[in-house]
Amino acid sequence: MQEESNESSFEFVEKKSTEVVSLSNIAPPSELPSFLMSSSTSATVSSQPSATSSQSEFHPTTFTPAIPVDTTPSPIIPKTPKPITPSQELPLSQEEPGSGGLFGWMKDTVGIQGGSILSKVAEKAKHSVDTMITTLDPQMRDFIGSSKVDMTITVASDKEVKISPVREAFHSQFPSAAVRGIGVYPRCAAQPVGFEAATLAANSRVRTLREMHEIMGPVIVVESFVAEVRPGKWYEVNLLVLDDNVKECQLETYSQMIPIPSGIIEIAQTDTPSDYEHKGTGYSVTIGSLMAKNLETDHSEWQMALTGVPRRQMILDAAKVLANLYKTVVS
């Protein structure tokens, strides 16, 4: 009974709803606001005929994006210019002192401080350039700032292997000193033998140099010699002598000793003539030439080939000692 009553009720509702719904009873839609209507919508609505087009409730929208002709734009009010001070009215060529920017500041600074800043900058730049040049080439010390030279040191030789280390050593203690070299060929053995013979040869170079060139002040001699320290033990040494006739002082120092084979000494003795005038103080053949020939190297590089240390470095070390001793004497 209950199921039958439900079915009958369902059929009754469906029939009732069918009877109520009717298209002719639906009211026309209300008019949308003008701001929601677009021109395209209005054109579509007006172009499509419908059953309700005759009714007065539907009207096309009147909205258009065009600006009306009678609309006048708001006037543009110009900004009021800021007043110009009298100092700004002056042209650049008539500006007062101190108002010329960077160049005016530099001009005022130079005028007030006497150009101290610019002069210091120029002096610093010149010193930097001079330092770079003299570091790359120490010989340029004799040509840069020659007006500040307060001492001239003369090396009794024209060989750079002797002049260069002496210059470097003495510039470390006397930066304003000028070091030059003059070749001297005294009357002595080509290869001095023994400490005494080396001292005689060095003093002979000093006397010859002063007599020929009338040199005053310090003179430095680098004399190479061989000496038998113990029986059968021969060494090559460099004697450095500094003679200053103005300060009335003479200083001596020696370089590192280099062992020489006794066979080389025997060759030098054999090659020296029996009537050689300086046979009592040395040989007529230098040990350097024999060592270079034996080592198959250049005459000036045999020390490097034998010991691994160049002769210039050995002379430089001894010259530094001599420069410090001389500074102690003259200070």
How confident is residue 115, by pLDDT bands cut at 50, 70 and 90? low
> For residue 71, what pLDDT is reported?
53
Helix/strand/coil percent split, the chain, to 5: 50, 15, 35
Phi, psi of 325 (to 5 degrees): -65, -40
283-304: pLDDT as tens digits: 999 999 999 999 999 988 999 9
What percentage of the chain has pLDDT greater than the value 70? 58
Residues 6+ apart with CB under 8 A from 274: none
Verify that 119 and 242 share a domain, yes or no.
no
Grouping H, G, I as helix, E, B as strand and the rest as coil, residue 99 is coil
> For residue 127, what pLDDT is reported?
65
pLDDT at 9 over 50: no
Grouping H, G, I as helix, E, B as strand and the rest as coil, residue 27 is coil
Instruction: For residue 179, tell me if it sits in a domain.
Output: yes
Sign of CA dihedral 308, 313, 145, 106: positive
Q: Which of 285, 237, 230, 233 is nearest to 262 (CA)?
A: 233
pLDDT at 50 over 90: no
162-181 mean pLDDT: 94
Verify that 195 and 280 share a domain, yes or no.
yes
Instruction: State the Cα angle at 236 between 235 and 241, rounded to 5°.
Output: 125
Residues 6+ apart with CB under 8 A from 318: 238, 240, 253, 254, 255, 256
Q: Which of 167, 166, 163 is nearest to 138 (CA)?
A: 167
Instruction: For residue 312, tell me if it sits in a domain.
Output: yes
Verify that 113 and 156 share a domain, yes or no.
no
14-25: pLDDT as tens digits: 444 445 555 556
> For residue 146, what pLDDT is reported?
46
Residues 214, 57: Cα–Cα separation, whole Å: 134
> For residue 216, what pLDDT is reported?
92
Q: How many CB atoms lie within 10 A of CB 93?
A: 5
246-273: pLDDT as tens digits: 999 999 999 999 999 999 999 999 999 9
Q: Which helix (H) or strand (E) holds 129?
A: helix 116-136
Range ranked top by mean pLDDT from 68-82, 115-129, 315-329? 315-329
**Mean pLDDT for the chain overall:** 77
Q: Which of 255, 234, 240 is nearest to 202 (CA)?
A: 240
Domain membership of residue 117 as a residue range? 106-136
Q: Pick from 115, 136, 157: which residue ends a domain?
A: 136
25-42 mean pLDDT: 57
Q: How many residues does the chain have?
A: 331
- CATH number of the domain at 248, please: 3.90.950.10
Cα distances from 83 to residues 88, 91, 93, 96, in angstroms, run: 10, 17, 22, 20
Verify that 114 and 208 share a domain, yes or no.
no
The CA radius of gyration of the chain, in Å to the nearest whole number, is 55
Verify that 123 and 215 share a domain, yes or no.
no
Residues 206, 200: Cα–Cα separation, whole Å: 10
Verify that 290 and 317 share a domain, yes or no.
yes
Verify that 287 and 213 share a domain, yes or no.
yes
28-43 mean pLDDT: 56
Grouping H, G, I as helix, E, B as strand and the rest as coil, residue 181 is strand
Residues 81, 98: Cα–Cα separation, whole Å: 27
If you write DSSP's letter for every residue of 248-270 in order, what string do you get? TEEEEEE---EEE-HHHHHHHHH
Contact criterion met (CB below 8 Å) for 195 and 222 = no
Contact criterion met (CB below 8 Å) for 278 and 272 = no
Out of 13-22, 24-33, 105-114, 180-189, which region has the weakest mean confidence (pLDDT)? 13-22
Verify that 123 and 246 share a domain, yes or no.
no
Verify that 117 and 218 share a domain, yes or no.
no
Contact criterion met (CB below 8 Å) for 148 and 301 = no
How confident is residue 195, by pLDDT bands cut at 50, 70 and 90? very high
Residues 141, 149: Cα–Cα separation, whole Å: 10
Instruction: For residue 120, tell me if it sits in a domain.
Output: yes
> For residue 35, what pLDDT is reported?
55
Grouping H, G, I as helix, E, B as strand and the rest as coil, residue 239 is strand
Residues 164, 172: Cα–Cα separation, whole Å: 13
Instruction: For residue 185, tell me if it sits in a domain.
Output: yes
Verify that 285 and 183 share a domain, yes or no.
yes
Q: How many CB atoms lie within 10 A of CB 293?
A: 13
Contact criterion met (CB below 8 Å) for 65 and 38 = no
Q: How many domains does the chain have?
A: 2
Verify that 168 and 279 share a domain, yes or no.
yes
Instruction: For residue 76, tell me if it sits in a domain.
Output: no
How confident is residue 313, by pLDDT bands cut at 50, 70 and 90? very high
> For residue 120, what pLDDT is reported?
72
129-160: pLDDT as tens digits: 766 766 666 556 555 554 467 899 999 999 99
Instruction: For residue 168, tell me if it sits in a domain.
Output: yes
How confident is residue 163, by pLDDT bands cut at 50, 70 and 90? very high
Contact criterion met (CB below 8 Å) for 278 and 188 = yes
